[in-house]
Structure 1
Amino acid sequence: MMSNFIKQLTLKVTSRFSPILLTTLQLTLMLTLMMITLPSFALEADNANEIAGTASTTDTTYITNTKVVQSYSSGQVASSIDSASQEQVLKDIKQRVLLGDSDQEKNKALNTTREDMIDQKQQQARKRSTAKNIAAIPGLNQSSRSFSDGTFVIYEGYSQLIEDLDADGYFQTFSVTFDADLLTGNPHDEAVVYAELYLSENGGPWVHYYSTDNFVIHGESSDDEFEVYSTLEQGFSANHYDILIDLYEVGFPNIVASYSSDDSNSLYGLPLESSDYDLEYVEYYTEVHSDGGSSSVIILIIMMLALSIRQLRFKG
């Protein structure tokens, strides 16, 4: 329809023009119409992209509001880690991320408050035998007695920030190291313990993020420092987080020692975020040329009209 209209219009105006000039004018008019309609198509495409972007933002907000939390951690005695094995620990965590083998799936991270965790310990203590739990721990000197009467202390605790992909100052991977001691005066005394680790977002409630395995501490030795590497995968917005460590003797429900951001600045205000916020930044460039194209077509039309008028005058 549009093509026929252009042909009829140009036939009436240019009936005296040569066939070559007539074809040139027709093509010029068609190019002009295309340049006029292209901006409207571009605007519709931008609107569509904006709608899609809004939907994506809505989905992200929904995920954040439902507070789906995922993290991946690995804990071990620090003396068993050198620079090479540290890299291996981080590789193992990345492999677990790919497999979806999260702390939450392994019941190592309960995403519950510290108060609820303490209540659960008390309830569990009524259901199990202390003697059975201690007997199940390998490497424990069976002649050892319980030291849950207040002779434990966490001598030191500190953190290390490890991975920040988008370089915004908030890290998705970090480690926490602490040294639990047994204050008995006898360096050969040992006890089997484990720790519960908590995060507090910007001064909020303490939320559980990792349970260590059981490990043995030897008097006041510094060779039994325990280290936990963690990667936050989902549900942790970019913010400052404090860390708290509660130490338990295996088989007993009460906290025997605690250490937190109140005791060390190294555990205070860690800039953290999960990897769904820590996306590696890639910059894209898009160039759009429309005004220059429209101007070129207009100049071409003027030149063709001038040439046509000159041709008519020459024939006349």
Structure 2
Amino acid sequence: MFYTPSLRSLAGIALTLIANASFANTTDSQTPLVQSKEFRYEEPYQAAVQNSGNSDQTDIAARQSTSVLQGLSVEQKQEHREAKYNGTSKQLASTSLVTTSDFWIYDSWLSLDLDLDYDGYFSKFTLEFDADTIYADAPVYAVIYLGTNEQYESIHVTSEFYIYGEDGSDSFVIESELIRGFPPRDYDVLIELYDAYSEELVAVADYYADADLSYVSLESENYESVYEETVVIVEEHGGSTAWYSLIALLGIVALKRFGKSA
């Protein structure tokens, strides 16, 4: 016997197609993308150009003589560092390469800022850390990583900035927004601090040293699924107008689904 589906059955198919079209937008076929902003002293940060003038001049000359990027502008240095570290991955064990005690990360703080779908995973967070040194002042920069199972991927290379001895007010703040490439997980954060003169890794902060950097519930924006309920009201009767209307609805759903995947 030939079966003719009812209007109610076809309406259910239409709703399923709409749901599938929305879910297709969460697929992760592109490389990770993160947008970050930097702040210091509660103001947007601009890269340091010169030191504060507090250091002993002999000490400055000795340290500057070891500068790997001597003669380059602030912008050129930043380009070099981003080219070197952006998109890199590493094992946590490699951070044991720190051989100096002249620098350290005193403390770090992390706050979760935006969870569009209220599933407990955030697409925007703020990281603040306070780095100290034995010197009166010293130029440094940091590389920020996210990872799981002690495998980390870099998400941001900071601008060069100065730290001042053990000053507790010179912390550096980074607001990061995960655009794509990060499925819902509990991530660990890794902070690497580099001497801007020698380009050497001089300090590390990780979840072993600071619990604030462990089990951070994050996901990128393309996983922030904000569902919009679509209600279809179907009145069953024998007229052909209802069939034509439902066929038109299915056509709209098909255009919506395949148009977004094009």
TM-score tier by shorter-chain length is: 0.5 to 0.7
Equivalenced residues, count: 197
Residue 261 (structure 1) aligns with: 207
Q: Report how far residue 274 of structure 1 moved.
A: 0.7
Cα separation, partners in 2 of 1:241 and 1:263, compared to 1, 3 Å? same
- Higher Cα radius of gyration: 1
Residue 242 (structure 2) aligns with: none
Cα separation, partners in 2 of 1:55 and 1:287, compared to 1, 3 Å? closer
Residue 186 (structure 2) aligns with: 240
Q: State TM-score, norm by structure 2.
A: 0.64
Q: 1:69 aligns with which of 2, 25, 32?
A: 32
Residue 192 (structure 1) aligns with: 139
Q: 1:280 aligns with which of 222, 226, 239?
A: 226
Residue 153 (structure 2) aligns with: 207
Letter in 2 for 1:276: N
Residue 229 (structure 1) aligns with: 175
Q: 1:113 aligns with which of 81, 89, 92?
A: 89
Three-state SS of the structure 2 residue aligned to 1:263 is coil
Between the aligned partners of 2:100 and 2:120, the Cα distance in structure 1 is 42
Structure with bigger RCO (C-alpha 8 Å, 6+ apart): 2
Q: Is the contact between residue 137 and residue 164 of structure 2 (CA under 8 Å) also seen in structure 1?
A: yes
Q: Report how far residue 251 of structure 1 moved.
A: 3.1
Q: Report how far residue 59 of structure 1 moved.
A: 6.8
Q: Is the contact between residue 153 and residue 183 of structure 1 (CA under 8 Å) also seen in structure 2?
A: no
Q: 1:216 aligns with which of 162, 184, 187?
A: 162
Higher strand share: 2
Q: Report how far residue 228 of structure 1 moved.
A: 0.4
Q: Percent identity?
A: 31
Between the aligned partners of 2:17 and 2:100, the Cα distance in structure 1 is 63
Cα separation, partners in 2 of 1:76 and 1:217, compared to 1, 3 Å? same
Q: 1:172 aligns with which of 116, 119, 123?
A: 123
Unaligned runs of 5+ in 1: 1-35, 87-105, 119-147, 295-316
Q: Is the contact between residue 248 and residue 254 of structure 1 (CA under 8 Å) also seen in structure 2?
A: yes
Q: State TM-score, norm by structure 1.
A: 0.54
Q: 2:42 aligns with which of 80, 99, 116?
A: 80
Cα separation, partners in 2 of 1:279 and 1:113, compared to 1, 3 Å? same
Between the aligned partners of 1:182 and 1:233, the Cα distance in structure 2 is 34
Unaligned runs of 5+ in 2: 46-81, 239-262
Three-state SS of the structure 1 residue aligned to 2:223 is coil
Cα separation, partners in 2 of 1:55 and 1:169, compared to 1, 3 Å? closer
Between the aligned partners of 2:10 and 2:230, the Cα distance in structure 1 is 21
Between the aligned partners of 1:55 and 1:287, the Cα distance in structure 2 is 20
Between the aligned partners of 1:204 and 1:183, the Cα distance in structure 2 is 30
Q: Report how far residue 272 of structure 1 moved.
A: 0.5
Between the aligned partners of 1:270 and 1:283, the Cα distance in structure 2 is 30
Q: In the TM superposition, what are the counterparts of 1:122-141 in structure 2 within 5 Å?
A: none
Higher helix share: 1
Report whether the alignment pairs 1:270 with 2:216.
Answer: yes
Q: In the TM superposition, what are the counterparts of 1:150-161 in structure 2 within 5 Å?
A: 150-161=101-112
Give the root-mean-square deviation of aligned CA atoms: 3.4
Three-state SS of the structure 1 residue aligned to 2:198 is coil
Between the aligned partners of 2:87 and 2:191, the Cα distance in structure 1 is 15
